[in-house]
Amino acid sequence: MAARRAKRVQRAGRPGFLIGALIAGAVQLVAAFGFGVGAGMLFDEIRGSSIDSSGPGLESVLGMATIPVLMMGGLLGLFIAGATARYLVDAYRGGEKQPALQTPLAFWAFAGGVALDARSWNAPLTGGETFDPVFNGNESWSGSGGVMDHADIWFPALFAVIALLVTLFAIRHNRRLRQQVAERNRLLAEGRKVTGQITDVTVRTSTNDDGHHSIVGAEVIVKFTDLQGTDRWVTRTVQGREAVPSLGEALVLFDPLRPDVVDAIFVAFVPDPLPGDWIGTVA
């Protein structure tokens, strides 16, 4: 853990990491946009089978060949470029908590791709009926036909609403993060540091397709005693396998005038912690 922190200090503030993060972030947005275009094309095929010909034409065949390229390429780009951008931003910021920017921007890029593709969707050949050029037979739309006819409006709007909700959540998260950083900086100047004891570590794992488990973080409970002699317990979340501590001592930073306020308690699991090493309620 000490070696990891030393590497973090060495990398912090290097402009190359920031430039790389911006490039990776741009690639992620392009991938999200392409994924959205592919999703729009796929949904247009489903829409077409409900309101139009059951026999695919040349344009439909070409479109179906393009869909997996856009969707698979977009999905891979989203995860790879997104993970790369987060890693580079973390290196540039020296481990300081990152505001939520990538996720809402990716959702808006995806919604933009869907909206752009929806503009090219064709109107039904015969309103109210599904036209079959192969067998020359028309069938009246089912109950979903009218809904699908207006999908070029509500389908992009649906993802725009989702992107808006994600953005609102990110704004709330970022506001809490700013408040937490400001409180931590205040306590580093005015608060008290005491040694606490790690009483419990609950490891969190994830399982891959092969059934293998990997450690992704932990919930850590720390006991400390305030200046009035009252024992208190606080739970903090750590991310990543390397950040999971063992049972032992931890440092606790708190407000001596408000030792019961959970948001004013920070915990560090390394000696001589940097500002970014202090863990608060916002993980």
DSSP secondary structure of 185-197:
HHHHHHSEEEEEE
Phi and psi torsions of 250, nearest 5°: -145, 160
How many Å apart are CA 237 and CA 203, to the nearest integer? 10
pLDDT digits (tens, 9 = 90+) for 203-246: 998 887 777 888 889 999 999 999 999 999 999 999 888 889 99
How many Å apart are CA 263 and CA 25, to the nearest integer? 31
pLDDT at 146: 63
Mean pLDDT lowest among 132-136, 180-184, 202-206 = 132-136
**pLDDT of 281 over the 70 cut:** yes
First to last CA, the chain: 18
pLDDT cut 90: percent of the chain above it: 57
pLDDT at 113: 96
pLDDT at 58: 43
**pLDDT of 53 over the 90 cut:** no
As a whole number, mean pLDDT of residues 250-261 equals 95
Spatial contact of 60 and 53, defined as CB atoms under 8 Å apart = no
How far CA 111 is from CA of 27, 35, 161, 170, 261, in Å, comes to: 16, 9, 9, 17, 40
Global pTM reads 0.80
**pLDDT of 60 over the 60 cut:** no
Domain ranges, ordered by start, for the chain: 7-183, 191-277
Q: 130: which DSSP letter?
A: E
pLDDT at 55: 47
Six token digits for residue 80: 């790879």
pLDDT at 47: 81
pLDDT at 174: 95
Phi and psi torsions of 187, nearest 5°: -70, -30
Task: Write the CB contacts of 147 (distance below 8 Å, at least 6 apart in sequence).
Answer: 154
